[in-house]
Structure 1
Amino acid sequence: MFAAAQYAALAVFVVGCWGYGRALLGRLAPPPRRDAGLEAAMAVALGVGLFICAFQALAIFGAFKVGATVALVVVGVLAAAVQLPAWLRERRALLANVQAVPWSYPERVAAIALALVVLPALVAPLAPPIAFDELMYHLPYARQVAQQGSLGIHDWLRYPWFPYNYNLLYAAALQLSDDVLPHFLNALAGALSVVMIYRLGMLHANRLTACIGAAIWLGLGDYSNALIDMGVALFVLSACVALWWWRESEPGKPTHGGIRWLGLAAFCLGVAAGSKYQALVFLPLVAPFVFRHERSPKAWALVFVCFLIPCVYWYARNAIMTGDPFNPIGARVFGFTEWTPADYVQQVADVRVHAELPNALIWSVFFAPFSVLWKRSAAVRAAGWFCLYSLVVWVATSRYPRYLTASFPLLAAIAAIGWQVLFGWAASGVKRLFGAKAPQPQDASATVARSGARVGDWVLVLLLAAMAAVSVRQTAVKVSMVAVTPEAREAVLRKHVPGYAVMDYLRRTAKGRVYQVALNEAIYYGPNPIWGDTLGPWRYTDFGRLSGGDLARKLSGMGFVAVVLPDSVAPVFSARIDFDKYFAVEYEKDGSRVYRILPVAP
């Protein structure tokens, strides 16, 4: 019942998104290449973007309440119900023109592989929140917005000035349900982009490319948390789809076709840029591409307006309040505010520490230009150039794999073509190998073909067996993380969230402010809000050199009543002069402890 309730809530939201997105897409001319699946996924993605804009507008004016959220969902569902009959007729007409093509053996194998990858992804969102970043600021921010019904600057979070578009969906989920539902909204972004990659593969390449590309991206995605990287990836991919629809649109009909697709692409990029700063790196790629084909002031005015609608609030707010529209990453240009130069250096160093190669599944992207699909399809080449640009920018900046997530869907699609090239070369090598050893009678070629086919069949069978084993193991791990009862949830959280027990204790008992040290990954489960971080105005180093008395006076003067920290840090903390006179252990459990601040003279 727990899983059914979560999936039912997600289904209602998806229907509402489709209702809004379909209503808007219906005002545009049909795409040049009709595909019912791709258009439906785009409608849902557009609906997600419209929900985000509606939530943002409500929160700006302090009206983001439960009633408003429910009303928006209900209106979306009603819009879907009104449009459904016409859409079903249109879908039947589109499918009637599609000729059924038999599945080849490699395609069936790829489809089975895709199904195996789906299994753990279906279970993963059911786990309670345990990922570092979702507990450190994604969910704490969403909870704060959900409780207050408005947007605010919460300086106790590590990134109070970041754009938080996609997190507004999590805030709405927390208004209506528990903290597992945000995982499903993150998973929705991944699922929609998987559908898009599959349909794009069918349109511009072949079924094998569609299955392999969808399986790669599905395998790379993380469906067990409430991060926003897959949400950004969805809207970057949607922007690319809309851009290609614009590029292929019929010339001579700018008001009914091309320019409106351009506006849709700009809107999707705006939603992405309003969710994470990294999405801005695609503007230098997209802008020249558009300018090369469209220089009309009217078109560019539409592009700017559609791009700014979802994201201008965040950047304008930051510019007005701090002078840095990209706070804090623009500090070197616009000046430092909450962060100091040392914070900036520490953040950059942390990113570099995590630098590593991306998943090996996408390395084959460099072999795609050797495919006939590359030569045959302009869309494949355009996607390939997008991938090359993304990789060059990524290497030149962070080399942190998660910062490449926005490009993963198209990287997966092009990598699927590269894998076909590699397997094709391997198959040719096997045929030559068997051909060199085979006798020379008239049926030699047939013998070689059969031998090569048998080897290929065994390779595919072994690959499927390995994938099945991995899928079963991962699914079992995901199932073990699902917590249906409060007791099971507490057991999972105590095992996977360091400091959960003491944070939960403080959430229930603290009567004043709490300062935490080195337990950022657990603050979602602590008092709301809770202060302390390695960066920003509540950085640990600002309190690090004080004696026990001075530290107690400073914390007490700020309204703090307790300090919570892990046992590993406690010796450094308690080694201060006169520490025992001003701090006393109040509670300790699972490797962390709470110190009560004792009364001190002013």
Structure 2
Amino acid sequence: MTKLVFAVAHYAALAVFVASCWGFGRAVLARFGAPARSDVWLEAAMAVTTGIGIFICVFQAFGIVGWFTSAVVWAMVALGVGLAIAQLPAWLRQVRTREVPPSLSWLEKMGMIALALLGVMTLAAPLAPPAVFDELMYHLPYAREVAQSGRLGIYEWLRYPWFPYNYNLLYAGALMVGNGNDVFPHLLNALAGWTSVLIVYRLGVMHINRVVACAGAAIWLGMGDYTGALIDTSVALLVLAACAALWWWRESPPPQGARWLGLAAFFLGIAVGSKYQALTVLPLVGVFVLWHERRPRVLGSALLCFLIPCIYWYARNAIMTGDPFNPIGARVFGFTNWNAADYRQQLQDVRDHASLPTPLIWAVLAVPFSAHWKRSAALRAATVFCIYSLFVWTLTSRYPRYLVPAFPMLALTAAVGWQTVFGGIAAKLRRTMPERDRSGGLDRAGRWLAILLLVAGVGIVFHKTSERVSMIATTPEQREAFLRKNVPGYAVMNYLREHATGRVYQIALSEATYYGPSPVWGDALGPWRYSDFIIFPPADYARKLAQQGFEAIAVSLPTASYLEAQPGFREQFALIYEKDNAKAYRIRQYRNDRAP
């Protein structure tokens, strides 16, 4: 029961935020006029996405001047809810007067049920405490520092102190108003996933059919990550929304079209200000836009809409480090916090994790053979986007997570491909078994197969949901048990957070950064890299650490075994805490008067 109350409270808070985003977004989009092909639910999803972008820009502006506080967050939420209440009657009239779609076929009903089952499976996923590697290493630590300071600082003890952090500002706002509630940022990440699923579904309905819409939405819903406070899913939402806005631009008359172009540029600016990988979309979009639009005033307005959300991050980096894309532009602009060895190590890590994308999207190769290929210009444009994304991804990294911005569009186009493949198989069966086809035997077999798959799906959903529900922690004891089980080094890092008075240096416990002291130094890359410390004799690196104000080190157990085997280690370091495959040592040479 307590878990149900916990879930209801969090989803109620999320509903308020969604309403606020929708209020801001609809207030803006209502001034644009209805798109050429109006769809009330697609427009609602685009309004929410627009509102998310407005929240981010306001938070960024206040963070730049150091005035980002909980009062700003509450004022924005309240203003957005007020706008939503004011516009709700007009929107309800739009819902009531929309064209009523035809009734669902049995196949469409099966698709909707399958999509709903997948959706249910994601509901409990965001409610567990933070335990995903990257969110603990830098996403949530950055958000926490911004929440505590109220400004966009440079935190060099993080692995990526110079990254653009647009979407993370929402996490910072959540930490401010939630009294340190670090589960709600998961829901903000999940919101991006659910919103993009709705956009995929509505685009599929508008441009293809409901079967493809269900399949495409289900593929993307199944591939999405709803467990952590990451930013890949949010970048995917923003890129997808930009593509939808670009198509509205192409279908609209010039005066209105320029507004949709500006909206698309705004979405891309938020995306580029959230993750560098979104930059790879810009060449294709630039060619597409310039192919159809060359008026300087329109292009200038679009460029301004693009720069407002992202120029701060890149200009700051260029001014302070000489590398606007720090650290990935180091080979061109020069190395700063990373050195050449760090750069090579990062590239090697990406290569080590390279693999083929999920087979769910392979059917995109069959799209040109679809009956919809010649009928839908939007489908052809989406396919070009997908082929371009796959080409750039193959050329640059082949790391699956770097393809996530294209996943929603890949899922939708792949659904067209799967319909083509299975449609071809069904047609061949009808030709080879005409008697069964005429008697309806093939249709009955297909329906029974669909029912059996759905029954199996119900079992899988129940099992997976039960697993996710078991991870929800509503008491301090449950949270402690969960984190000790799922976060390597949590107990040691938490102990040092509560007891250390000087600096703490961690070794091979980056995954527990969020639960350690704030800040906690030490990483495989950057100015506090392990190779600059522990490759020396214990007396030397103990002296170096002590001189820089370090009181203790936190070490994973395998690394601790290696360090303890070095001659003289125990003379320099005293064990102060050990738990769950990690150890903490006090540096004997440390003196309190040396702590900064």
Scaled by the length of structure 2, the TM-score of the pair is 0.96
**Which residue identity does 1:280 align to in structure 2?**
L
Cα distance in structure 2, aligned partners of 1:9 and 1:172: 13
Who is 2:476 aligned against?
486
1:131-158 per-position Cα deviation (integer Å, ceiling 9, x unaligned): 0000000000000000000011101000
Give the 4+ runs in structure 1 shifted more than 4 A.
none
Question: Is the Cα–Cα contact under 8 Å of residues 370 and 416 in structure 2 kept in the other structure?
Answer: yes
- Asked whether the 8 Å contact 1:266–1:307 carries over to 2, the reply is yes
Structure 2, unpaired ranges of 5+:
none
Among 11, 32, 43, the residue aligned to 1:28 = 32
Structure 2 match to 1:467: 457
Map of 1:549 onto structure 2: 539
Residue 276 (structure 2) aligns with: 277
Paired residues in the alignment total: 586
| 8 Å contact kept, 2:24–2:54 | yes
Write the distance in 2 (CA, Å) between the matches of 1:203 and 1:472: 32
1:522 pairs with 2:516: no
2:581 match: 591
CA distance in 2, matches of 1:134, 1:369: 39
Aligned AA (1:314)? W
2:240 corresponding residue in structure 1 = 237
Alignment of 1:135-174 (within 5 A): 135-174=136-175
For residues 314-372 of structure 1, the C-alpha deviation after alignment (integer angstroms, 9 at most, x for no partner) is 00000000000000000110011110111001000101111111111111111122111
The answer on 1:205 being equivalent to 2:197 is no
CA-atom RMSD in angstroms: 1.3
Q: Following the alignment from structure 2 to structure 1, what is the Cα–Cα distance between the partners of residues 400 and 175?
A: 29
How many percent identity over aligned positions? 60
Within 1, Cα distance between the matches of 2:406 and 2:448? 33
Q: Is the 8 A contact 2:20 2:84 kept in 1?
A: yes
- Residues 551 and 590 of structure 2 are in contact (CA less than 8 Å); yes or no, is this contact kept in structure 1? no
Structure 1: 5+ residue stretches without partners: 439-443
Q: Which amino acid aligns with 2:136?
A: L
Contact 1:515 1:530 in 2 (8 A): yes
Q: Which amino acid aligns with 1:463?
A: L
Shift of 1:539: 0.2
Q: Structure 1, residues 516-550: CA drift from partner, whole Å, max 9, x if none?
A: 00000011011111000000000000012222221
Tell whether the 8 Å contact from 2:550 to 2:590 is kept in structure 1 after alignment.
no
Q: Deviations over 1:569-590 (max 9, x none)?
A: 1122223332111101000001
Contact 1:249 1:258 in 2 (8 A): yes
Q: CA deviation at 1:600?
A: 6.5
Q: Which residue of 1 aligns with 2:129?
A: 128
Q: In the alignment, does 2:64 pair up with 1:60?
A: yes
User: What corresponds to 1:296 in structure 2?
Assistant: 295
Superposition pairs of residues 13-412 of structure 1, within 5 angstroms: 13-93=17-97, 95=98, 98-177=99-178, 178-250=181-253, 253-254=254-255, 257-412=256-411
Distance 1:531 1:445 in 2: 69
Q: Which amino acid aligns with 1:537?
A: P
2: CA distance between counterparts of 1:333 and 1:505? 42
Please tell me whether the aligned partners of residues 549 and 600 of structure 1 are also in contact (alpha carbons under 8 angstroms): no
State the shift of 1:400 in Å: 0.8
Contact kept? 1:523, 1:530, Cα under 8 Å: yes
Report deviation, 1:445: 5.8
Q: Is the 8 A contact 1:15 1:80 kept in 2?
A: yes
Counterparts of 2:276 and 2:425, CA distance in 1: 41
SS in 1 for 2:555: strand
TM-score norm. by structure 1 comes to 0.96
Q: What is the identity, as a one-letter code, of the residue corresponding to 2:274?
A: S
CA shift for structure 1 position 479: 1.0
Name the SS for the 2:372 alignment partner. Answer: helix
Separation (CA, whole Å) in 2 of partners of 1:199 and 1:259 = 23
Cα deviation, residue 477, structure 1: 1.5
Structure 2 distance, partners of 1:345, 1:184, is 35
Aligned to 1:441: none
> Following the alignment from structure 1 to structure 2, what is the Cα–Cα distance between the partners of residues 401 and 548?
40
What CA distance in whole angstroms lies between the structure 2 residues aligned with 1:563 and 1:190? 38
Deviation at residue 87 of structure 1 after TM alignment: 2.0
Q: 1:400 to 1:548 in 2, by over 3 A?
A: same
1:495 corresponds to: 485
Cα deviation, residue 473, structure 1: 2.0
